[in-house]
Amino acid sequence: MLRPATPLSIIFLIAFVLALLTTLSTPIIKQIPLGSYEGYNFGVFGWCNQTTCSKFGIGYHTDILFQQNGEQDPFTLPETTRYGISGILIVHPIAALLILICFGLAVAAHFHGPSHSPRYLLGLLILTIPTLIVTLLAFLVDILLFVPHLNWGGWIELAATILIIGSTIVTCAMRRTVVSRKARKKRIEENADMNGSAYYESLAADQRSRVATAPSVA
């Protein structure tokens, strides 16, 4: 039987895989570039060309690559600005970590306790908000750094962002369903006199008490 938490878990899993791919981009996996130009592929922690790769680190320069060939810097932002922004690429692994946590919580929502707890689902819903912000920030950083040479590795971060938006909507719907179900159950209990259940229960209890107190005939 398909539970409401199953689609949510699948969405988070796909989003995590996409965010992980961008984190493992060049130079970790050369075939996953966030941006590319003239044989150079750029990723979260550095760059690579056909023969060599930069050192693994947070933030890196790119102007020297093209000055050696007598070319102008092909990117939109100035080099000094882009170097500062390149350090913010660290939000990619942070986004992947947050999505992984959300995925774990969504899997746990398959159990009876969490799936029927409005507080648990509210906590998951609240966590999706910073996850969405960080994932969106990662995509915006890719846009700023690599436009007009953004490659497919940058676009899959946008796909992850869209999936997080979808997961937020699904989580909100799940919580609303649980809250509505609990509220309906509470109304039924409060209005038990109107549906006759309390009347028949009291009638049965009264009959049992009469039988218990009736004098026995020797």
Strand blocks (E) in the chain: 35-37, 40-42, 47-48
Whether the pTM exceeds 0.85: the reply is no
Residue 73, pLDDT score? 62
pLDDT at 92: 96
Within-domain flag for 207: yes
What are the tens digits of pLDDT across the range 96-144? 999 999 999 999 998 888 888 889 999 999 999 999 999 999 999 999 8
Bond prior to 215 in cis (omega within 30° of 0): no
The more confidently predicted of residues 181 and 196 is 181
Structural domain range at position 160: 4-61+81-213
How far is Cα 69 from Cα 77, in angstroms, rounded to an integer?
20
Domain annotation covers residue 74: no
Residue 206 lies in a domain: yes
pLDDT of residue 24: 93
Could you tell me the pLDDT band of residue 1, with boundaries at 50, 70 and 90?
very low
Residue 63's CB is within 10 A of a number of other CB atoms, namely: 16
Note whether 68 and 88 are within 8 A (CB).
no
Query: CATH no. for residue 107?
Result: 1.20.140.150
The one-letter code for the residue type at 194 is M
pLDDT at 212 over 70: no
Per residue in 132-156, pLDDT (tens digit) is 999 999 999 999 888 888 899 999 9
Count of H helices and E strands in the chain?
A: 9, 3
Number of domains the chain contains: 1
